[in-house]
Amino acid sequence: MKFGSQSEVGKIESILIKHPKNAFISQDNIDSQWRGLNYSGSPDFKKAVEEYENFVNLLKKEVSEIHYLPRSEKTGLDSIYVRDALIITRKGAILCNMGKQERQNEPEAASEFLPELGIPILGAITGEGRLEGGDVVWLDQRTLAVGQGYRTNGIGISQLRALCSEFVDEFVVLRLPHWRGPEEVLHLMSLISPIEYDLAVVYSRLLPVPFREWLIEKGMKLLEVPDSEFETMGCNILALAPRKCIMLSGNPRTKRMLEDEGVEVWEYEGEEISRKGAGGPTCLTRPLLRMR
């Protein structure tokens, strides 16, 4: 298999990323875009490249195949967050339809690279449907959770359900809170990061109660991110394999909770590539193939 990623915790064998050289392109390009994209500050291009190289070096420790999306005139700075444009299933890729207007061309640009990877397109979210990959979480091979909020709407979720009907048994839809409004990034993966099939890091203050109770009933142990570390993306964690993960540095309490559970934790500095654009390690990556 070259693709198939109906998991958030299986060992990653193949992954898709986009280097800041191909997303940010230059300091002048950054300076012309970051305010309009609602970044908290202007990323420093040189530092971003350095941070990203360190991040990739961590991926290389565990992931055998790393694929880079090429530069595209159709996309902007946000295209570094490759998770949102595509959903990968065992039947092929589903092209998303972005809720953030400035990101509308990212799925098409990503789809142009898929033939090189041997990944067919299963379908696309179209029309008034909106769906971003950060709102989609595989809880196991046949259970899919989707958050409905400002970036993902009911029409998009209905289209996704239809596309996945043959291989998803349980489709869990939860409504995300307003939080700070439509200009802020609040994906479902801002609130939950599976680390193992029975372990997840969560920010329960913003999780819908029925969903949190459902997770516990399913036997999931929840590690609660403290308030102080939610703001620094302590809840945005990429599992490279069961109980082996990458997280942003600067979240020591969350890191300690994970290590107390026997999880191997690797950290990266991400001020330029993550914090300013509000995209953590899950956002920076689109796993293409995970092994059970």
DSSP states of 91-150 as a string? TEEEE-B-SSGGGTTHHHHHHTTHHHHT--EEEE--TT--B-GGGEEEEETTEEEEEESS
Q: In the chain, where do the E strands start and end?
A: 11-17, 65-68, 86-89, 92-95, 121-124, 136-140, 143-148, 170-175, 192-196, 199-202, 221-224, 238-241, 244-248, 264-268, 286-291
Q: 3-class SS at 156?
A: helix
Cβ atoms 75, 106 nearer than 8 A: yes
Residue 238 within a domain:
yes
Cβ atoms 253, 219 nearer than 8 A: no
Q: pLDDT, tens digit, for every residue of 232-266? A: 999 999 999 999 999 999 999 999 999 999 999 99
Q: What is the pLDDT of residue 179?
A: 87
160, two tokens: 């996704």
Question: What percentage of the chain carries pLDDT values higher than 90?
Answer: 96
Give CA–CA dist 126/159, Å, rounded: 8
Where residue 125 sits, what CATH number does that domain have?
3.75.10.10
Q: What is the pLDDT of residue 265?
A: 98
Q: What is the pLDDT of residue 221?
A: 98
31, two tokens: 């300076």
Give CA–CA dist 226/234, Å, rounded: 8
Give CA–CA dist 11/23, Å, rounded: 27
Give CA–CA dist 174/254, Å, rounded: 25
Residue 17 within a domain:
yes
Give CA–CA dist 109/119, Å, rounded: 14
Q: What is the pLDDT of residue 144?
A: 97
- Residue pLDDT tens, the chain, 292 long: 789 989 999 999 999 999 999 999 999 999 999 999 999 999 999 999 999 999 999 999 999 999 999 999 999 999 999 999 999 999 999 999 999 999 999 999 999 999 999 999 999 999 999 999 999 999 999 999 999 999 999 999 999 999 999 999 999 999 999 988 887 889 999 999 999 999 999 999 999 999 999 999 999 999 999 999 999 999 999 999 999 999 999 999 999 999 999 999 999 999 999 999 999 999 999 999 999 7
Q: What is the pLDDT of residue 292?
A: 75
65 has which bridge partners?
14
Give CA–CA dist 230/248, Å, rounded: 11
Query: How many structural domains compose the chain?
Result: 1
Local structure of residue 207 (DSSP, 8 states): S
Residue 4 within a domain:
no
Residue 101 within a domain:
yes
Residue 118 within a domain:
yes
Which residues span the domain enclosing 183?
A: 11-291
Give CA–CA dist 267/280, Å, rounded: 11
Which are the contacts of 167, defined by CB distance < 8 A and separation ≥ 6? Answer: 6, 89, 90, 91, 142
Residue 121 within a domain:
yes
Residue 198 within a domain:
yes
Give CA–CA dist 214/98, Å, rounded: 28
Residue 111 within a domain:
yes
Give CA–CA dist 80/280, Å, rounded: 11
Q: What is the pLDDT of residue 131?
A: 98
